[in-house]
Amino acid sequence: GVNEFYLPSKDELDALYNYWKISGDQRIKYSAVPMWTSSQASATFVWYQLFQDGTQFTDANGIIRGLQGNKDFLKSPVHAGSAFTPTDFQVVGVRAIPVTSVLQSDIDLTVRATTNNSQCSAGGANTVCKVGDIGPGGGIVFYDAGKDEYWGRYLEMAPKSCEGERLSWRPAGNTKTVYTGSGSQSAAELRLLAKGLGMGKVNTRVITLALGAGTKPTSTDYNNSTAWTQYFMDGQQFDRVQTLDGNKNPPNPFRVRPIRAFGTNNVVLACKDGGLCKIGDTGPGGGTVFYVAPSLLLKDKMQWQYLEVQKYPTFQADLCARNTNTRTAQTNDGLGEGRRNSEKLLVGCIENIRQIKPENSWYVPSISELKLALNLLGYPDGDYWTSNLVFGSGIILSCKGKTCQKIGVSRGDAYFWLLVRAFK
């Protein structure tokens, strides 16, 4: 029936995997195992997904040579270039929730031939495209999000003349790492985010900053040795292949085709309205932007690129003096750490004078966050709370001009609060 759970399609299972890895939802507990989907690749092959790393396979078309089918598999096969051992297949049920509101008519995805549509190819404020139209860049529109997203609405592939063949993902001899996982982000989580729709432009900027200009099969890094590629015979996506000609004989060289994202208008949004931000801008929370990361970051399941700080220190108060957790040590003092510090601070808090709720954006800054905000933007001389603790004692920055001194104090003392928030 319509309300029953069922075996997910390959795209539904991929959406579940991504949510599991990124959301931080503690109710979901899966193992690193292969999961079946309900999507068939042929009469004898069906799609499955490795919850070890998110790769999806059918093993058809010579991926495992001589294989005639996989529907009777009880364990996942071993792939060339992978260290994953054979593991029992599992299944998970999903269900679709009935709609409760009136939706717009479905987007027509049927494409019989590319079409010339002046409302699309002209671009500008009145852009209206459908899949298959010639886009403003001279390519073909292949995706419509249905509404404007932060990256735009439509995706357009470049003309065939822009396609490259047998091009390396990184310059020869360059061994730099794209995602280091240092500081406030996990490299594995950032790589997972980089697989999403609309991330190509951000990924390309990150890669070129790390490796220099070049041409890439995709802009999604798998690890420091391999990148994601897609098999256009059947749609399988890989990270295992480590040669420009693939792991197949005869050779089947990698190709790359650029794409671009665009929206329905050319309006440039202000920082406070969700546009790009620079230091000194007013942020969406009404504060002042004091830090801009070079790319989208992920910390404790939250994506962010910017930090803003309140325009004025509004009061002096204690830092949750009545706290059952008196031996806490919070030494993470880097950029992006204040939110998590504040969450830990509230765990044993009996009476929180300001009812600070980090999940609702504003939080007590880490030492580095506070020091950067004070130095860049200038605030009255005084003593300011940080979210760092040393064995139950609070840490303040006592500032005069641009010189700040770190001091351990009692959490029952009253000092300035100057809250910050992270956003993207």
Rg of the chain over all Cα atoms, to the nearest angstrom: 25
Distances (CA, A) of 82 to 78, 86, 241, 242: 7, 11, 10, 11
pLDDT in tens, 317-346: 777 755 555 555 566 778 878 887 777 777
| Helix or strand run (H / E) with residue 259 | strand 259-262
- Residue 239 predicted with pLDDT over 90: no
Please tell me the least confidently modeled range out of 37-51, 55-69, 96-110, 123-137: 96-110
Cis peptide, bond prior to residue 8, ω within 30 of zero: no
Q: What are the two backbone dihedrals, phi and then psi, of residue 367, each rounded to the nearest 5 degrees?
A: -60, -50
Say yes or no to pLDDT of 231 above 50: yes
Classify domain 288-423 by CATH number.
3.10.100
| Residue 242 predicted with pLDDT over 60 | no
Model pTM score: 0.49
pLDDT at 74: 94
Closest-CA residue to 232 (of 131, 142, 98, 339): 142
Q: What percent of the chain is modeled with pLDDT above 70?
A: 70
Mean per-residue pLDDT of the chain: 76
Q: How many CA atoms lie less than 13 Å away from 41 in the CB half-sphere?
A: 24
Work out the burial of residue 101: count CB atoms within 10 Å of its CB; fewer than 13 is exposed, 13-18 middle, 19 or more buried: exposed
User: Which of 68-72, 108-112, 360-364 has the lowest average pLDDT?
Assistant: 108-112
Instruction: Please report which helix (H) or strand (E) contains residue 209, including its range.
Output: helix 200-211
Average pLDDT over residues 14-21: 86
Closest Cα to residue 190, out of 174, 210, 216? 210
d(CA 298, CA 104): 33
pLDDT digits (tens, 9 = 90+) for 377-419: 878 888 888 888 776 677 878 888 778 888 888 777 778 888 8
pLDDT of residue 354: 52
Distance, CA of 219 to CA of 22 (rounded, Å): 19
Is-contact 154 140, C-beta < 8 A?
Answer: no
- pLDDT at position 182 is 39
Residue 6: which pLDDT band, with cuts at 50, 70 and 90?
confident
Residue 133: the pLDDT is 92
Q: Has residue 26 got a pLDDT over 80?
A: no
Round to whole Å and give the CA distance between 199 and 344: 31
> What pLDDT, on the 0 to 100 scale, is given for residue 49?
93
Q: What is the pLDDT of residue 175?
A: 67
Confidence category of residue 50, pLDDT binned at 50, 70, 90: very high
Identity of the amino acid at 8: P
What DSSP string describes 61-111?
Answer: TTTSTT----TT-SBPPP-TT--PPP-B-B---B-PPPP-SPPPPPP----
Q: What are the pLDDT digits (tens) for 270-308?
A: 788 777 899 999 988 888 999 998 887 876 667 788 999
pLDDT at 12 over 70: yes
Cβ atoms < 10 Å from Cβ of 351: 10
Instruction: Tell which residue, 47, 57, 61, has the closest CA to residue 81.
Output: 57
Parse the chain into domains and list their residue ranges: 1-100, 288-423
pLDDT of residue 369 exceeding 70: yes
Residues near 326 by Cβ (< 8 Å), separated by ≥ 6? 348, 392
